[in-house]
Amino acid sequence: MIADFHVESACLRRADETARDVSIQRLHAREQRCRLDVWVDESDRLEAEAVVSGDDVREATHVGAEAGGHWFVVEATDSALLPVGRALSSVDGMLVHADRTDEGWAVRARFADRSAVLSFREDIVADGVTVDFRSVLADDDEPSADFGVTAPQREVLLLAAESGYFAVPRDASLSDLAARLDISSQAASERLRRGTGTLVANTLASPHRPVVGSRHP
């Protein structure tokens, strides 16, 4: 399962003023510190290093430049991210990514099942962390690796492409797609529109940010 939630945290708050885009790609709790793999959207190394500094940061190691930004390994004592790391470890959860926002950190994490999500939430609330869950997606609705579209959205998008729905003039209608998928025309339309919107948001409209382990921008 995939859960999206916001955590109030002052960690790397200077990111709001210095860089357009700051992302945590990995988070591990280590006793009284947490280890973060951070990517900063800033071509100037000195400016990027200014982002990963602050009262909660104990150590920041520059590990390389990539795609107009810089990678850092950060050791921090943040009072919110540390419990999140501990709770993820305790339920065998996994951080997908966390992005810095005005509200704190917008976090996406993966869990084995709903009970793991509930246990995770109980653990961090017990630690006094303010958390705002925005969505919890079941397996069937879980975003795939295909630019974030869900499995049903991917199915209708591929069918539309294969059957000529996007051709000019069209070789297939919305009702044709719905009949092939054995769903209503309204359901087909919603999946098609949402899937298209997600593709645009995660490709053409998305700020370029590499993922951990990527070598090519």
User: What pLDDT was estimated at residue 127?
Assistant: 87
CB atoms within 10 A of CB 47: 13
DSSP E strands, the chain: 2-7, 22-30, 33-40, 57-66, 69-76, 94-101, 104-110, 131-137
Tell me the pLDDT of the chain (217 aa) as tens digits: 888 888 887 777 655 555 567 888 888 887 788 898 988 887 788 888 887 777 778 888 999 888 778 899 989 888 888 889 999 999 999 998 888 877 778 898 999 888 899 999 999 888 888 888 888 876 555 555 567 777 788 889 999 999 999 998 999 999 999 999 888 888 888 889 888 888 887 777 655 454 544 433 3
The CA distance from 24 to 76, in Å, is 12
Q: CA–CA separation, 1 vs 30, rounded Å? A: 25
pTM for the complete prediction?
Answer: 0.62
Concatenate the DSSP letters of all residues of 50-92 into one string: HHT-STTEEEEEEEEEETTEEEEEEEE--TTHHHHHHHHHHTT
Under DSSP, the state recorded for 212 is: T
- E strand or H helix at 155: helix 151-163
